[in-house]
Structure 1
Amino acid sequence: MASTMLATSLLLTTTACSSGDEVTTKPNTPAKSERPTADAKTTSPEPSKEADAKVGDSITLRGANDGEQLDVTVKKFLDPAKGADEFNQPQSGKKWVAVQLQLVNTGSRAYSDSPANGAKVADTDGQRFDSWFGEIAAGPAMASDLNLPAGEKALGWIVFEIPKTSKVVTVQYGMNSGFAEQTGQWKVS
């Protein structure tokens, strides 16, 4: 009995630690000087106020392959998002919301992906929604076949179709069409 419990405990520990999946909500902060200046007064440090990322904040994410890294910024969020024309409209009983993402390749190699595949939104009920094809009046869509060289950036809108009664509270983005171990999360309301 004891050996069975030990084996089960080891299996559960191994399983829990093996995934490596991580959702990060901590925005990037400007680097601070680590050395105090000669005239710096000795004071107790202020308590850390780690707020969740919000619209305008960047989160650094690692990709699934060595050298893949992006600084991802939620530039804008629209609820509702207006269709570009009479042909680009949500289905009956639905509305469109949209997030404008900026991706900056801070890695050491080119990054290739379809960014909309790695984006999701969640509403107040916990329902999660994948991206949706639609052109909006706010501006151009994020490239569907992005090939981003190191040091360059991409900017574009990703659209989601959700029930009219839903209120989106978070946006998530994961590299490699959402299969990377890290996912960034931003509060939008």
Structure 2
Amino acid sequence: MLRCRRPLVALALLTTALLGAAPGGSGETISLAGTLPGQRLDVTLTQVVDPATATGPDRPTATDRLVATRFRLENTGTAVYQDSPAPAAHLLDTAGQRSTGLGLPTTAGPAFPGTVTLDPGATAEGFITFRLPADAEPAAVQFALNGGLADDVGQWSLPIP
């Protein structure tokens, strides 16, 4: 688990790419702040399905695959959280490549809707899917509020048990 400020994100990405990722990180909760007053979520990576099987028409080709990650979001702030979780997440591989989350449906479970709205104290769970090269080795998953633009960035190392 890693929490960093936006200026350190490039360093975190480089470190992850060069050193690989330590196993573990699943189930750990990271508290993240948004860009507006009162925006705060506790974010937990609860599951990784690799490879994931698409249920819609947007299926992987022979050169790529899907990885589905399940997140639990809890609004621990004082403001209503309204955001799109998929573009707020990124998967990093051991070669340093970064994939942005997609709202693709898979057999892993239900994806987050395009927009999630949570009152203070409310929770939501859903999958965010990533498309990456078939031979890529996932190293970490990142999440930040406000479509991924908030300064706080949570990072979970992969693989997870």
TM-score clears 0.5: yes
Aligned to 2:135: 165
Cross-structure match for 1:92: 62
1:131 to 2:101 alignment: yes
Aligned length: 143
2:71 & 2:29 partners in 1: Cα distance?
Answer: 10
Match of 2:53 in 1: 82
Give 1:48's aligned residue: none
- How far does the alpha carbon of each residue in 1:76-124 deviate from its partner, in whole angstroms, 9 at most, with x for none? 0111111226x34213311000110100000011111001111000001
Tell me which residue corresponds to 1:56.
Answer: 27
Q: Which residue of 2 aligns with 1:141?
A: 111
TM-score by length of 1: 0.71
2:31 is matched by which residue type in structure 1? T
- Structure 1 residues 124 and 52, CA gap change in structure 2 (3 angstroms): closer
Alignment-derived partner of residue 80 in structure 2: 110
Of 109, 120, 140, the residue aligned with 2:90 is 120
Does structure 1 retain, via aligned residues, the 8 Å contact 2:75–2:121? yes
Change (3 A) 1:63 1:100: same
Within the candidate set 135, 153, 157, 2:123 is matched to 153
Equivalent of residue 44 in structure 2, options 51, 54, 73 = 73
Distance 1:52 1:110, change over 3 A: farther
Partner of residue 101, structure 1: 71
Residues 54 and 187, structure 1, Cα contact 8 Å, conserved in 2: yes
Q: Aligned residues: percent identity?
A: 36
Give unpaired runs (5+ residues) of structure 2.
13-21
Report the Cα distance in structure 1 between the residues aligned to 2:23 and 2:138, rounded to whole angstroms.
16
Q: Which structure is larger by alpha-carbon Rg, 1 or 2?
A: 1
Is the contact between residue 103 and residue 111 of structure 2 (CA under 8 Å) also seen in structure 1?
Answer: no
Tell me if structure 1 keeps the 8 A contact 2:85–2:114: yes
Contact in 2 for aligned 1:52/1:186 (Cα 8 Å): no
* Separation of aligned partners in 2, 1:132 and 1:115: 9
C-alpha separation in 2, matches of 1:77 and 1:52: 13
Partner of 1:185: 155
Q: Which has the higher contact order (CA 8 A, sep 6+)?
A: 2
Displacement, 1:59? Answer: 0.3
CA RMSD of aligned residues (A): 1.9
**Which secondary structure state, in structure 1, belongs to the residue aligned with residue 52 of structure 2?**
coil
Q: Secondary structure at the match of 1:80?
A: strand
The answer (yes or no) to whether the contact 2:68–2:108 under 8 Å persists in 1 is no
Deviation for aligned residue 1:143: 1.9
Report how far residue 133 of structure 1 moved.
Answer: 4.0
